Structure 1
Amino acid sequence: MTVDPSSAGPLTHRLGYLVKLAFHQLSGMLAEALEPYGVNPREVGVLSVIATHGEERSQHELAQLIGVDRTTMVAVIDALEGKGLVERRRSAVDRRRNVVALTPAGVTCQREADRARVETERAYLAPLDEETARVLTEALRTLYVAHAGS
Structure 2
Amino acid sequence: MATTTRTAPLAQLGVLLAGRGAVASARVRDTLAAQGLTMRCVYTLTHLADGPVNQQALIDLLGVDPSALVAVLNELESLGMASRQRDAADRRRHIVTITPRGTAALQSVESALDGADDDLFAALSSDERDQLERLLTKVADAGSCGDKY
Q: What band does the TM-score fall into relative to the shorter chain?
A: 0.7 to 0.9
**In structure 2, the residue corresponding to 1:100 is in which secondary structure?**
strand
Matched, 1:59 2:55: yes
Q: TM-score, normalised by structure 2?
A: 0.80
Uncovered stretches (5+) of structure 2, i.e. residues with no partner: 1-6
Which residue of structure 1 lines up, in the alignment, with residue 132 of structure 2?
136
Q: Would the alpha carbon gap of residues 20 and 70 (structure 1) be closer, same or farther in structure 2, given more than 3 Å must change?
A: farther
Distance 1:77 1:15, change over 3 A: same
Q: Which runs of 5+ in 1 are unaligned?
A: 1-8
Match of 1:6 in 2: none
Match of 1:116 in 2: 112
> What do residues 73-95 of structure 1 show as CA deviations (whole Å, max 9, x unaligned)?
12211221122211111236x35
The answer for the alignment partner of 2:22 in structure 1 is 24
> More helix by proportion, 1 or 2?
1
Report the aligned-residue RMSD.
2.1
Partners of 1:44 and 1:114 within 8 A in 2: no
Distance 1:20 1:117, change over 3 A: same
TM-score (norm 1): 0.79
State the aligned residue count: 138
Pick the aligned partner of 1:44 from 42, 45, 63. Answer: 42
Structure 1: which 4+ aligned runs deviate by more than 6 Å? none
Higher strand fraction (1 or 2): 2
Given residue 20 of structure 2, which amino acid in structure 1 is its aligned partner? A
The share of aligned pairs that are identical, in percent, is: 28
